[in-house]
Amino acid sequence: MSSKNNGAQGAIEKKAKEDRFQGHDYYNIDELLQEDHLLARDAVRSWVKQEVSPIIEEYSERAECPTHLFKGLAEIGAFGPSLPVEYGGGGMDEIAYGVIMQELERGDSGVRSMASVQGSLVMYPIFRFGSEEQKRKYLPKLGQGELIGCFGLTEPDYGSNPAGMVTNVRDDGDAYILNGAKMWITNSPVADIAVVWARDEEGAIRGMIVEKDMKGYSAPTIHGKWSLRASITGELVFEDVRVPKKNVFPEVKSMKGPLSCLSKARYGIAWGAIGAAMDCYDSALRYALERQQFGRPIGGFQLTQKKLAEMITEITKAQLLAWRLGTLANKGKATPAQISMAKRNNVNMALEVAREARQIHGGMGITNEYPVMRHLMNLETVLTYEGTHDIHLLITGMDVTGLNAFS
Ligand code: TGC
Ligand code: FAD
């Protein structure tokens, strides 16, 4: 089956297609990147072409997580790229972290999620809030992919408003007794440990490392997702789980703990979404030049050019936003509200690009012959997790007005 429109059946049967992706850099943003950023970007791009592209459509169709990729993700340094090497990270800067997320999400948002959760939502809180003993015990193994982690904040009744959480701990001597449930937890069914946020008897929000073998812990899988199908999502259920006090983060006792982790992950998503958008644009551009209708390439029609021109314009704006955010983050100056703006803008941009790319591919756009529909479906999740599109708008609104629309 060629990439021309020869019938959807062949397209659906054809697996392990050649990945012809080329990066797009309309404003020479590469000139703003350092040598090590470009090396990291190119290494991850090659790895994605070799390890992700040949299998991702099949895994996505089967709604199965390619868990064998955890080891490879560790080897390419995708877990905590900007955390110190001695604590299992990559010792790189925030822009390197960003370009790595971009390339992973170019492959699939679910693969980027595997790295985001492990690095930014599990390793980062242990690094930032954990005791020295916790860091030494867990971080090297997490960095090497020997342990898989998940992050439990969202609850069935508390999504956008995690501060309302009812999962709780009560003091029991040398341990806390943990009860409650978390919902929509990426990687929970395959995780060895969970970073869990719960309310203590004084009402303070505490973070802790819960191990899967602890009695009363379970992590059932959530089935039936039409989005992020190559990522495994589950619940976390705690029934009188006895969590030793040495597993509790000693210092942090407020929402600042989990929200700081979100800032780290949202930053990565702001870059990641550009990858998904670039893949859709790349596929649409090639298709528009190859596909003939009315005796000429569809790329010759003004309406197709409008779509492509607007797509590359929006991708370029998002690249500049991410790069500037990265330079601020490197100086420790990126504010949570700035990160919210970039996450919201870039994910929405990617979703719009995916929709336009889907149209350019005509009927073929809904098949697995092209990556576009998979990205489109994935991005519906990315628009919602790590703070919904509207929650980020309200964060920007609060930042510019000084007025809180949440309470
Ligand atoms: P609020 O009273 O505003 O703030 C409490 C304290 O936290 C500080 N803070 C932040 N710090 C760092 N980063 C941020 N993004 C921060 N946002 C707030 C704040 O300065 C304050 O500090 P202090 O020192 O005064 O105590 O907190 P709130 O509870 O009222 O927050 C409101 C709101 C809506 C902004 C927050 O709840 C929110 O962001 N909601 C969205 C929930 C969300 O994003 N959930 C994500 C769950 S994890 C996930 O989706 C993983 S997907 C993973 C994957 O597969 O990739
Ligand atoms: P709700 O909060 O119920 O929101 C529903 C709608 O109401 C949204 O459109 C929202 O924008 C709107 N809304 C809510 N409040 C307001 C308001 N004040 N003003 C205006 N509109 C409002 N969580 C984790 O903790 N860990 C994970 O690893 C994780 N992984 C996920 C993986 C997947 C595949 C998905 C889908 C979610 C994941 N999440 C995870 C949860 C995710 O962060 C939440 O889904 C998200 O924060 C939204 O919460 P909710 O789904 O309960 O929606």
User: What CATH number has the domain bearing residue 229?
Assistant: 2.40.110.10
Q: Probe ligand 2: pick from 269, 340, 388, max atoms within 8 Å of CB?
A: 388
| CA–centroid distance, residue 183 to ligand 1 (Å) | 17
Predicted confidence (pLDDT) per residue in 92-140, tens digit? 999 999 999 999 999 999 999 999 999 999 999 999 999 999 999 999 9
With pLDDT > 70 as the criterion, what percentage of the chain qualifies?
96
My answer on whether 283 and 355 are in the same domain is yes
Measured between alpha carbons, how far is 356 from 214 in angstroms, rounded to an integer? 48
Is 4 part of a structural domain of the chain? no
In this predicted structure, what is the pLDDT of residue 407? 87
Confidence band of 3 (pLDDT split at 50, 70, 90) = very low
Question: Domain range for residue 211?
Answer: 149-247
Measured between alpha carbons, how far is 127 from 118 in angstroms, rounded to an integer? 12
Pocket lining: 21 vs ligand 2, CB cutoff 6 Å: no
Number of domains into which the chain is organized: 3
Residue 309 has pLDDT above 50, yes or no: yes
My answer on whether 137 and 163 are in the same domain is no
Work out which ligand 1 atom sits closest to the CA atom of 254: 26
Residue 10 has pLDDT above 50, yes or no: no
CATH of the domain at 362: 1.20.140.10
My answer on whether 139 and 153 are in the same domain is no
Is 360 part of a structural domain of the chain? yes
Is 2 part of a structural domain of the chain? no
Domain final residue pick, 143, 164, 199: 143
Do residues 143 and 92 touch, judged by C-beta distance below 8 A?
no
Predicted confidence (pLDDT) per residue in 160-213, tens digit? 999 999 999 999 999 999 999 999 999 999 999 999 999 999 999 999 999 999
Is 219 part of a structural domain of the chain? yes
Residue 152 has pLDDT above 80, yes or no: yes
Measured between alpha carbons, how far is 317 from 320 in angstroms, rounded to an integer? 5
Confidence band of 251 (pLDDT split at 50, 70, 90) = confident
Nearest bound ligand to the CA of residue 151: 2
Q: Probe ligand 1: pick from 122, 195, 255, max atoms within 8 Å of CB?
A: 255
Q: Find the residues whose C-beta lies inside 6 A of ligand 1.
A: 113, 116-117, 151, 153-154, 160-163, 186, 254-256, 259-260, 262-263, 265, 336, 385-387, 391, 395, 406
Q: How many CA atoms does the CB half-sphere of 197 hold within 13 Å? A: 30
Domain final residue pick, 143, 160, 190: 143
Confidence band of 257 (pLDDT split at 50, 70, 90) = very high
With pLDDT > 90 as the criterion, what percentage of the chain qualifies?
95
Is 128 part of a structural domain of the chain? yes
| CA–centroid distance, residue 157 to ligand 2 (Å) | 10
Residue 281 has pLDDT above 70, yes or no: yes
Predicted confidence (pLDDT) per residue in 321-331, tens digit? 999 999 999 99
My answer on whether 267 and 384 are in the same domain is yes
Pocket lining: 283 vs ligand 2, CB cutoff 6 Å: no
SS (H, E, C) the chain: CCCCCCCHHHHHHCCCCCCCCCCCCCCCHHHHCCHHHHHHHHHHHHHHHHHHHHHHHHHHHHCCCCCCHHHHHHHCCCCCCCCCHHHCCCCCCHHHHHHHHHHHHHHCHHHHHHHHHHHHHHHHHHHHHCCHHHHHHHHHHHHCCCCCEEEECCECCECCCHHHCCCEEEEECCEEEEEEEEEEEECHHHCCEEEEEEECCCCCEEEEEEECCCCCEECCECCCCCCCCCCCEEEEEEEEEEEEHHHECCCCCCCHHHHHHHHHHHHHHHHHHHHHHHHHHHHHHHHHHHCEECCEEHHHCHHHHHHHHHHHHHHHHHHHHHHHHHHHHHCCCCCHHHHHHHHHHHHHHHHHHHHHHHHHCHHHHHCCCCCHHHHHHHHHHHHHCCCCHHHHHHHHHHHHHCCCCCC
My answer on whether 91 and 154 are in the same domain is no
My answer on whether 241 and 277 are in the same domain is no
For the chain, give the mean pLDDT: 95
Pocket lining: 348 vs ligand 2, CB cutoff 6 Å: no
| CA–centroid distance, residue 375 to ligand 2 (Å) | 19
My answer on whether 222 and 125 are in the same domain is no
Predicted confidence (pLDDT) per residue in 135-149, tens digit? 999 999 999 999 999
CATH of the domain at 107: 1.10.540.10
Q: Which amino acid is at 185?
A: I
My answer on whether 384 and 291 are in the same domain is yes
My answer on whether 234 and 292 are in the same domain is no
In this predicted structure, what is the pLDDT of residue 194? 98
| CA–centroid distance, residue 388 to ligand 2 (Å) | 6
My answer on whether 174 and 62 are in the same domain is no
Is 5 part of a structural domain of the chain? no
My answer on whether 154 and 136 are in the same domain is no
Confidence band of 12 (pLDDT split at 50, 70, 90) = very low
Domain final residue pick, 247, 272, 289: 247
In this predicted structure, what is the pLDDT of residue 18? 86
Query: Distance of CA 404 to CAs 263, 391, 394, 398, 407, Å?
Result: 19, 12, 8, 5, 6
Is the model more confident about 98 or about 4? 98
In this predicted structure, what is the pLDDT of residue 295? 98
My answer on whether 240 and 178 are in the same domain is yes
Is 1 part of a structural domain of the chain? no
Catalytic residue at 386?
yes
